[in-house]
Amino acid sequence: MSRAASEAAPAGSIEASGGNEEPGQPRSRGRFTAWLRRHRVPLLLLLLLCAVVIASVWGRADHDTAALSPANPAPDGAMAAAEILADRGVDVQHHQTMAEALAALEDNPGATLLFLDPSGFLTGEQRRDLADAAGRVVLVEPSFEQLADFAPEIRSAGLLPEDPERHRLDAGCSNRDAEAAGAVEAGGKTYRGPVTCFPAPGSQGTDAAGSYAATTSGSAVVLGSADLIANESVAREGNAALAFRTLGADDTLVWYQAGPFDVPPSEAPADPFSLLPAWVNPLLFWLLLVACAAAFWRGRRLGPLMEEPLPVIVHAAETAEGRARLYQDSQAVAHAAATLRAAALTRLAAHLRVGPGAGVDTVTRATANASGRSYSETDHLLNQRLPGTGAELVRWARDLKDLEEEATSS
Predicted confidence (pLDDT) per residue in 236-271, tens digit? 999 999 999 999 999 999 999 998 888 877 655 556
Per-residue pLDDT band at 300 (split at 50, 70, 90): low
Q: Which amino acid appears at position 224 of this protein?
A: G
| Segment holding 143, helix H or strand E | none
Q: Give, in order, the Cα–Cα distances in Å from 356 to each of 81, 343, 345, 359, 400.
A: 95, 14, 11, 9, 21
pLDDT at 382 over 60: yes
Nearest CA among 167, 142, 165 for reference residue 153 = 142
The residue among 127 and 279 whose pLDDT is bigger is: 127
Cβ atoms of 232 and 253 within 8 Å: the answer is no
- Residues contacting residue 175 through CB under 8 Å, at least 6 positions apart: 195, 197, 212, 214
Region 181-198: mean pLDDT is: 91
- Evaluate the CA torsion angle 295, 297, 300, 302 in order and state its sign: positive
**pTM higher than 0.75 for the full model?**
no
- Residues contacting residue 134 through CB under 8 Å, at least 6 positions apart: 105, 111, 112, 113, 254
- In tens, the pLDDT along 129-157 reads 999 999 999 999 999 999 999 999 999 98
pLDDT at 60 over 60: no
